[in-house]
Amino acid sequence: MNYNDYFAQSLNTLKEEGNYRTFAELERRCGSFPQASHHAEETQKPVTIWCSNDYLGMGQHEAVIGAMHDALDRCGAGAGGTRNISGTTHDHVLLEAELADLHGKEDALLFTSGYVSNWAALGTLAGRIPNCLVLSDALNHASMIEGIRHSKAERMIWNHNDLIDLEAKLAAQPLDRPKLIAFESVYSMDGDIAPIKEICDLADRYNAMTYLDEVHAVGLYGPRGGGIAEREGLMDRLTVIEGTLGKAFGVVGGYIAASADLCDFVRSFASGFIFTTALPPAVAAGAAASVRHLKASSAEREAHQQRVAEVRARLDLLGIPHEPNPSHIIPVMVGCPVKCKYISDLLMRDHGIYIQPINYPTVPKGTERLRITPSPVHSAEDIDRLIGVLGDLWAQCELARMPMAAQ
């Protein structure tokens, strides 16, 4: 077998299907985000980013930047080791205390990313609790799926947000069998929200633990940014709340918040925690500053919701189809991988607007989309330009419109 020929053939197949992914080389402009520079073919062009997970623009907030500068001057660049061997700094401890307080839990445990936190925590909990059954929502993130798979525990997939299917699977098990229900609050591609209360009710009835991924909700929802569970007054009913520092908090890292014993259990047994270098102290300090700020300030959340509502309303006026949902994520539906990439390429090349096409396998074939994430730092002029260009491209590509389109 010629290995390189196999690699090339596989990549060509992706390209022919319209599913080959290219990276936009960007240089974010601190103080003027979502404006950035796009580096391509030895040139730089200005672009406006409309698909960032820095949902609130906290990656450039003065409190975050200042805390990182201070920690860099105090501590230097790196943590110097794993958390177990010289890498637990005072900034890590302070951040974990902030996160535990945010979610009303006894403790929190910090990881290098949201992906790792899911992989390590789910893999450890499900793998080490004897005879544990994991009930996983059908649309859970890849990191959750990989963590569950890594655990080698028995798993059942329940239909997305389907309480009837979940209860049927729970009821078929012995009441005393250990069970873990794994699900998300806001699902990142469709933007829909889980029925958290009802899932907790089922967990109580059938003696199950709950594991809630809030990565697309922390910072954005709830009086202090604790997520959907905080907004709905349910944090105390969840066994584990998992979140990220790389989206609304604007930095990088992941975490779980839970009881002190559960966090200590994961800390003591999770290879994904034990054997990796700790986050730099400056990152931990910046994340803690972001969490503290958003606990006290609702201005960013309110402005964010206003921008989202405005973009949705403007899309409706033009009849550009977008998935209706109660969250901040706006999936503009194209339904064709080739046209989806074509529109994305034209937006970047001709109009300086960057929206990454979302194709298979991230979403099912036939549901290709442009995933738009408005933020408080998008201006009225940014919105005007985005909507105008999308309207022109929708006509150019002869894509269907919704019936409420303005004539």
**Peptide bond just before 361 cis, omega within 30 deg:** yes
Show the DSSP H helices in 236-379 as ranges.
Answer: 260-269, 271-274, 281-296, 299-318, 337-351
Amino acid at 65: I
Contact 289, 99 (CB under 8 A): no
Euclidean distance between CA atoms 136 and 21, whole angstroms: 28
Euclidean distance between CA atoms 301 and 231, whole angstroms: 12
Tracing tokens 């330009």 back to the chain, one arrives at 385
Show the DSSP H helices in 44-129 as ranges.
Answer: 62-75, 90-102, 114-128
Euclidean distance between CA atoms 92 and 130, whole angstroms: 32
Euclidean distance between CA atoms 245 and 251, whole angstroms: 6
Euclidean distance between CA atoms 126 and 131, whole angstroms: 8
Catalytic option among 105, 169, 179, 247 = 247
Active site residue 15: no
For residue 204, what are its two tokens? 């109580």
Q: Which of 285, 289, 288, 270 is nearest to 82 (CA)?
A: 270
Q: Report the catalytic residues.
A: 247
